[in-house]
Structure 1
Amino acid sequence: MGRGGGSGGEAHQRALVRAIRAVLARVDAHADRREPDAKPSPAPESSTLATLCSCFGLTSFERDVLLLATAAELDPSTGPRCAAASGDPRRDYPTFSLALAAFPEAHWSALTPVAPLRRWRLVELADDGPLTTSRLRVDERVLHFLAGVPYVDSRLHGVVSRVDPVPDLPGSHARSAEAISTAWHEVDGRPHVELVGSDQRSRWEVAATAARNSGASLYVLRAADLPTDPAEREATARLWERESLLLPAVLLVEVTDATTDRLAALELFAHALAVPMVISSDDPLRTGHQHRERVVVDTPTEDEQRALWASALAGADHAADADELGRLVAQFSLPAHVIRAAGAVARRAADGRQDVAGLAWRAGLHQARVALDELGRRVEPRAQWDDLVLPEAQRAILTEVVAQVRQRATVYRDWGFEAVLRRGLGVTALFAGNSGTGKTLAAEVLAGELGVDLFVVDLSQVVSKYIGETEKNLRRVFDAAERGGALLLFDEADALFGRRSEIRDSHDRYANIEVSYLLMRMESYRGLAILTTNMKKALDPAFLRRIRFVVDFPFPGPGERAEIWRRVIPAATPVDGLDLDRLAQLTVAGGSIRNVALSAAFLAADEGTPLAMRHFLAAARTEYLKLERSLTPGEVAGWV
């Protein structure tokens, strides 16, 4: 809803000039001790002057005072005319004293700090002299508004920023925007709304649409930027309240760190505003405010995401078909703005190629991993099934895991199992076995097979000694992972799991709650969540029953070890007298085999000779020192 600019700005200026001339005519009449020739005509209803008078409820006298102060900035003759009317050549500027004497319907209450002129800082006293004889100056922002030049007050620059609405808001978000607009108009008391859920950008898009529907624009202020000094905070509130009426605009305050002090400052700031406002946060705020309308922004539904993907990929030479769109929706649960961004990346990269859906998949992965990168260690899936040496029974279970993740949408949604089962629909697994037996490698193989990212989360780093923090950390991980359905590998599950049947104190009881929360999130997770443990027997059987797949990674026997040795030594490596059966005599797991093979290769390369058994012997001694073990004669018999 623009005000001013172009020919409209010129019309505002012409109306302002006419109003100023009429006010100065009254000043001249007072100087000549006569009645003015004619009563000034009211400003056109479409003018900025009429808008300002209406917004702030100015009386005709207050309007004339404002115009007199404005005249001093726009009409060079104002100073001498004020001096003549005041009878003092030194007082060549507007004052309340002159206004009280020269203008009709004058009232002393217009001078008070709570009256519109000073409360809204439309005019200011430019010096510290007596109230009635101090110089009156129009506020610069108000002056430009009257001239038809709209802009945000410079004192709010760097504090607030504008957010524009988007044209393709999903239906559920459009309904949230409508709920906000309705609340602003129907709420009793201050028109403030609390907006929660989804992600920050989505909330802002919803609020921007609500503001547009109400004929306003949206500006965002972060709660962390609110002044802590009460006087500064009150001044900021007054500035914004005036700005809200002039633009018009709605303020959204984004809360990211809901400390007690920050929430208290926010509530005091909000209490000072009687204009529409949105308080935005991930979760409902615990402020004790019971009467503020709350609107929830949910993640777009699957149908909405399908439509968003179709729209985002439209225009590519080979648009994605229904099946490809279905796979994207089944894999990703992305906010609308992220889908738009991923689609734009895919369209640019397609460049006439037919694999736009594959490009969209990779773009979706890239967009989704942004939120997870700071919460875990991302592993680029490069391992394949041939890299995994496991008994056939374990491989069969891993194949079944892949099938369940890949066909979740078909079985749960299309075949109706979701409505029947309702709970525990996530695919969960426990990988149990000693270090180096292939648990992480297997997870990498599964991630590569599913075409998703692998994120390794060290549970020993997630677990906190402070009650409630572990649950909060886990929630951040799952909320971020939900976007892209990444494979989550929770390493060192023993840090959180254990036999908790005996509750000795409140910390043990809360540990049970933490474990239950982890399992609950795993069971509802749209991707694959895996726990690893070195001590399966230490886990409570009650927890194990809630895990869908349990895969034991046995310590490799001589045959498996020989196969691992064969696979870790590339075909291009020059060798001399390599004996895989003798290397398999080392009683170490696959992780250590890889370490020994790599170290031996570097030793041979440094010598400039082919890789020989003596290099493996030296590397094995180093690895065993790390494992705090000693090589036995039987392990290295016949090596050299």
Structure 2
Amino acid sequence: MSELTGTTAPARPPAGRPPAPDPLAARLALLRSRVLRAVAERAAADPEAADDPLRGLYISDESALRLLDLPAGPLLPDPHEEEQAREIGAPARLAAVAAAFGLSAHDTDLLLVALAPDLDPRLERAYAYLNDDVSARRATTGLALRLCGSAQGSLQGRAALAPEGPLRSGGLLVVEDDGQPYASRPLRVPDRVTDHLLGRDTPPPGLARHLLGSSRAPGRVPAPLPDALTGVVTRLARAVTRPGLVYVRDRHGGPGPLVAESALHESEKGVLRVSLPSGADPEETGGLLRAALLEARLTGSGLVLEHAEALGDDPTAVRRAIEPLTALGVPVVLVGHRPWDARWAVALPLSLDCPTLREADRARLWRRELSAGDRGVAGTAGGVPEAAVTAVARYRLSPGQIRAAAEAACRRAVADGGEVEAGDLAAAARASAGGALGRFTRRVVPAVSWADLVLPEPTGSLVRDVAHRARHRDRVLGAWRMRPGGGRGQGVTALFSGPSGTGKTLAAEVVAAELGLELCVVDLAAVVDKYVGETQKHLDLVFQEAETVDAVLLFDEADAVFGRRSAGRDAQDRHANSETAYLLARLETFDGVAVLTTNLYAHLDPAFLRRFDVVAHFPAPGAQERRALWDRCLGGLPRAEDLDLDRLARGFDLPGGAIRCCAVTAAYGVAVTGGPVTTEDLLSAVRAEYAKLGRRYVEETETTGPRPGPGPAYRRRPGGG
């Protein structure tokens, strides 16, 4: 083991070639010589015995009388040591750190003095002797200044160790114990700085947990970028050639981080990508940012900070976190979804809007990732049907999410011992796109298809139109710009209205299944809050998360929050009107797919109707639709040969939801008896359904004819509810 650094000694060089000197070890050897001179100077004037075991723990009477005679001024320089220092030169990493942090020769000497006890344990006791305290084994402020030839009270020395100086503001040096007198405050070099000077470049655990990727090899990104991104990448690459902050506004799931990383590579810089944690304590976030800045400056990398919205909503807190990013000599790219707020920083950064990826761009990214040689499945892209790639390209995933989904699909194929199939891609894409929408929604994985939906033709066409719009919105609203201006989003919104049980919720699930997305049902009981302004905050969170996870958002019984605005006679009306006004504006900026259902069409505010892309009315099913519903709801249930579904369809005016309940009731009865389902079993289930609804059981026949109104299924009992 090396006596100086505590590391394993390098292999012996070949004979005839002298070993290469270690500049850092040589500089520390010169420092050790300087410390020995200081010890000798102190010992010559020290009245206490050098072998006193209690030395440094007490002050004797004789010592107290001679304390002021001890040497306290700067250690005089030694011309021989200075000449040796010039011959040795600065170690490569120390010189790079000095250049990156703007350190003077005096600052570099102070850093070496503070670093020395961590590399040479013998210097601990020497420092303790010079500090006259056996527990003070680090260099103190006064000792460091003295060893570097500065007086403790000199302006230059105090400026070098001031909080705004390059050593402390850059995170290279920590002055501890501010309660002590200035000259007695110990100095400490963070372990990450020590490791870097010794040649180790592993980020600390606190930073590694939030590190999404790092690259210290400058140069262009080997993977080609979509054409839509090259312009903003070129502009950003020119901006990051100078230190400072650049803000990239990106939509949820957009390519903003990839654009920032590509721009830094183009400007010949390494890249450090950090994800800011949501809901973290401000102190924790500040510590993470300081660690990220230190890592970026040590490695000569640019810094990409994702999820800027995690900094919070308080402008003062955001400004406190952002200000250090603008003061240090590191190019920093902050990626967020919100517009830049002028209150976040004194100096306005360059702000860029990142374009979203089109479906064709996402398809190319899928093919490229699936054909990568390190995915574990050779020739994968060629074995995947083009229809499957086109289908998963509909998911509005970022390039990073596409890369992760492709890796997951390939790992699944390797585990199954085969090629990547369409199901593997769909499952991986859904897992990448899906996410928790907090406590305000319930996630549903669609398990239905168009065959499960029985609707009259006009309504069925409108429901299919919702899926068509969601599938082609990138072309129509993006490439063709058919909804320009006004800050409008590229979302698709639909309103399904009609009586209960007519298939509105089922239709929303079928649309989600057609698009290959999850259905997120909003829990209105959790969204609506009695406190002023809280409902809007909850709804905004729901809309934001729905855009992030790329799911179909379902507001069931939407009239609870999308009701008509009133005249505003009291404060309660005004607050309700403000919620409705917020929803009107938020629907226009929404970038996802949202479906609203209601049984009370007349209760909706008319201003919402213009903002819906599709408005479909679900009527009560006729006899033909009821016949198809009975057949579909019975599914694989064993049926008797004389089962008369036409009688059930003609005789009982039931909606689809009630028919499904009757079929389930009959299925439980068949499970007990073990026989096939008969007409009588279904009639018994219909009677039970009528009793559950408090209705009078009457079967329609051709002789009696249809009755006016809603039909016998909804006729109230005399005196009943």
- TM over 0.5, shorter chain: yes
Paired amino acid for 1:620: V
Q: Which residue of 1 aligns with 2:94?
A: 49
Q: Render the CA deviation track for 1:24-44: whole Å, top value 9, x for unaligned.
A: 444556748995545233353
Q: Which residue of 1 aligns with 2:213?
A: 163
Higher relative contact order (Cα pairs below 8 Å, separated by 6+ residues):
1
Among 270, 277, 300, the residue aligned to 1:222: 277
Q: Which residue of 1 aligns with 2:249?
A: 196
Q: Which residue of 2 aligns with 1:316?
A: 380
In the alignment of these two chains, the number of paired residues is 619
| Cα distance in 2 for residues equivalent to 1:438 and 1:91 | 78
Q: Render the CA deviation track for 1:325-362: whole Å, top value 9, x for unaligned.
A: 66654x33321112223334455566898985675455
Q: Which residue of 1 aligns with 2:26?
A: 18
The alpha-carbon deviation at position 592 of structure 1 amounts to: 1.0
**CA separation of 1:481 and 1:318: change in aligned 2, threshold 3 A:** farther
Identity of aligned residues (%): 32
Among 492, 517, 521, the residue aligned to 2:585: 517
Matched, 1:292 2:348: yes
**CA separation of 1:200 and 1:320: change in aligned 2, threshold 3 A:** closer
Which runs of structure 2 are paired with 1:378-393 in the superposition (5 Å)? 378-385=444-451, 387-393=452-458
Q: Which residue of 2 aligns with 1:629?
A: 695
Which runs of structure 2 are paired with 1:431-510 in the superposition (5 Å)? 431-446=496-511, 448=513, 453-457=518-522, 462=527, 488-500=553-565, 505-507=573-575, 509-510=577-578
Q: Which residue of 1 aligns with 2:617?
A: 552
| Cα distance in 2 for residues equivalent to 1:598 and 1:581 | 19
Q: Which residue of 2 aligns with 1:364?
A: 429
Structure 2 residue matching 1:164: 3-state secondary structure:
strand
| Cα distance in 2 for residues equivalent to 1:439 and 1:164 | 48
The alpha-carbon deviation at position 474 of structure 1 amounts to: 5.3
Q: Which residue of 2 aligns with 1:343?
A: 406
Structure 1: gaps spanning 5 or more residues: none
The alpha-carbon deviation at position 595 of structure 1 amounts to: 0.7
| Cα distance in 1 for residues equivalent to 2:595 and 2:429 | 22
Asked whether the 8 Å contact 1:116–1:122 carries over to 2, the reply is: no
Q: Which residue of 1 aligns with 2:633?
A: 568
The alpha-carbon deviation at position 159 of structure 1 amounts to: 7.5
Q: Which residue of 2 aligns with 1:305?
A: 362
Asked whether the 8 Å contact 1:123–1:138 carries over to 2, the reply is: yes
Structure 1 residue matching 2:305: 3-state secondary structure:
strand
**CA separation of 1:288 and 1:466: change in aligned 2, threshold 3 A:** farther
| Cα distance in 2 for residues equivalent to 1:71 and 1:180 | 42
Structure 2: gaps spanning 5 or more residues: 1-6, 14-18, 45-75, 216-220, 372-378, 704-721
Q: Render the CA deviation track for 1:394-414: whole Å, top value 9, x for unaligned.
A: 445556666666666787889
The alpha-carbon deviation at position 47 of structure 1 amounts to: 1.9
Q: Render the CA deviation track for 1:556-585: whole Å, top value 9, x for unaligned.
A: 345544453344334652549744455443
Matched, 1:586 2:642: no
Structure 1 residue matching 2:247: 3-state secondary structure:
strand
Q: Which residue of 1 aligns with 2:198?
A: 147
| Cα distance in 1 for residues equivalent to 2:579 and 2:121 | 77
**CA separation of 1:516 and 1:460: change in aligned 2, threshold 3 A:** farther
Provide the alpha-carbon RMSD of the alignment. Answer: 5.3
Give the TM-score, by structure 1 length. Answer: 0.74
Structure 1 residue matching 2:316: 3-state secondary structure:
helix
Structure 2 residue matching 1:41: 3-state secondary structure:
helix
Asked whether the 8 Å contact 1:66–1:138 carries over to 2, the reply is: yes
Asked whether the 8 Å contact 2:232–2:259 carries over to 1, the reply is: yes
Q: Which moved more, 1:167-176 or 1:548-557?
A: 167-176
**CA separation of 1:169 and 1:77: change in aligned 2, threshold 3 A:** same
Q: Which moved more, 1:368-377 or 1:486-495?
A: 368-377
The alpha-carbon deviation at position 196 of structure 1 amounts to: 3.2
| Cα distance in 2 for residues equivalent to 1:424 and 1:134 | 57
The alpha-carbon deviation at position 458 of structure 1 amounts to: 5.8
Q: Render the CA deviation track for 1:591-637: whole Å, top value 9, x for unaligned.
A: 112212211221243244554555445533442343233434879x9
The alpha-carbon deviation at position 548 of structure 1 amounts to: 5.2
**CA separation of 1:582 and 1:258: change in aligned 2, threshold 3 A:** same
Q: Which moved more, 1:103-112 or 1:45-54?
A: 103-112
The alpha-carbon deviation at position 589 of structure 1 amounts to: 1.7
Which runs of structure 2 are paired with 1:243-258 in the superposition (5 Å)? 243-248=295-300, 250=303, 252=305, 254-257=307-310
The alpha-carbon deviation at position 434 of structure 1 amounts to: 1.1
The alpha-carbon deviation at position 281 of structure 1 amounts to: 3.4
| Cα distance in 2 for residues equivalent to 1:420 and 1:138 | 56
Q: Which residue of 2 aligns with 1:531?
A: 596
| Cα distance in 2 for residues equivalent to 1:90 and 1:633 | 97
Give the TM-score, by structure 2 length. Answer: 0.67
| Cα distance in 2 for residues equivalent to 1:88 and 1:533 | 79
Q: Which moved more, 1:276-285 or 1:93-102?
A: 93-102
